[in-house]
Structure 1
Amino acid sequence: MPGIDECLLEAMRLPGARGAALVDWTSGLALGAVGEFPGGDHEAAAAEAAEVARLTAEQRAFTPEGYDASGDGATQEAAEPPVEDLIISNRDSYHLLRFVPTSFDSSVFLHVWLSRSDGNLALARIRLGEMAGRLVLG
Structure 2
Amino acid sequence: MSNLELALKDMMSIDGAIGVAVVDYNSGMALGHLGSSKTLDLQVAAAGNTEVVRAKMRTMEQLNLKDEIEDILITLSGQYHVIRPVTGRKGKGLFLYLALDRNRGNLALARHQLKSIEENLEV
Q: Please report how far the alpha carbon of residue 37 of structure 1 lies from its aligned counterpart in structure 2 after TM superposition.
A: 5.4
Q: Please report how far the alpha carbon of residue 58 of structure 1 lies from its aligned counterpart in structure 2 after TM superposition.
A: 1.8
Match of 2:7 in 1: 7
Q: Please report how far the alpha carbon of residue 116 of structure 1 lies from its aligned counterpart in structure 2 after TM superposition.
A: 0.6
Match of 1:36 in 2: 36
CA–CA distance in 1 between the matches of 2:90 and 2:10? 24
Q: Please report how far the alpha carbon of residue 103 of structure 1 lies from its aligned counterpart in structure 2 after TM superposition.
A: 2.0
CA–CA distance in 1 between the matches of 2:91 and 2:118? 15
Residues 106 and 38 of structure 1: is their aligned pair in 2 closer, same or farther, counting only changes over 3 Å?
farther
Q: Which has the larger radius of gyration?
A: 1
Q: 2:98 aligns with which of 95, 112, 122?
A: 112
Select between 57-66 and 92-101 the one with higher mean Cα deviation. Answer: 57-66
Kindly indicate whether the alpha-carbon contact (under 8 Å) linking 1:37 and 1:45 is maintained by their aligned counterparts in 2.
Answer: no
Structure 1 vs Structure 2 CA RMSD = 2.3
Unaligned runs of 5+ in 2: none
CA–CA distance in 2 between the matches of 1:22 and 1:41? 14
Q: 1:94 aligns with which of 80, 83, 88?
A: 80
Kindly indicate whether the alpha-carbon contact (under 8 Å) linking 1:62 and 1:83 is maintained by their aligned counterparts in 2.
Answer: no
Q: Could you tell me the TM-score, scaled by structure 1's length?
A: 0.79
Secondary structure at the aligned position of 2:15 is classed as: coil
Q: Could you tell me the TM-score, scaled by structure 2's length?
A: 0.88
CA–CA distance in 1 between the matches of 2:8 and 2:63? 27
Q: Please report how far the alpha carbon of residue 9 of structure 1 lies from its aligned counterpart in structure 2 after TM superposition.
A: 0.4
Match of 1:17 in 2: 17
Secondary structure at the aligned position of 1:21 is classed as: strand
What amino acid sits opposite 1:59 in the alignment?
T
Among the aligned pairs, what percent are the same residue?
34
Unaligned runs of 5+ in 1: 68-81
Match of 1:52 in 2: 52
CA–CA distance in 2 between the matches of 1:18 and 1:45? 12
Secondary structure at the aligned position of 2:111 is classed as: helix
Is 2:110 the counterpart of 1:124?
A: yes
Q: Please report how far the alpha carbon of residue 60 of structure 1 lies from its aligned counterpart in structure 2 after TM superposition.
A: 2.0
Residues 33 and 14 of structure 1: is their aligned pair in 2 closer, same or farther, counting only changes over 3 Å?
same
Q: Please report how far the alpha carbon of residue 63 of structure 1 lies from its aligned counterpart in structure 2 after TM superposition.
A: 7.5
Kindly indicate whether the alpha-carbon contact (under 8 Å) linking 2:91 and 2:122 is maintained by their aligned counterparts in 1.
Answer: no
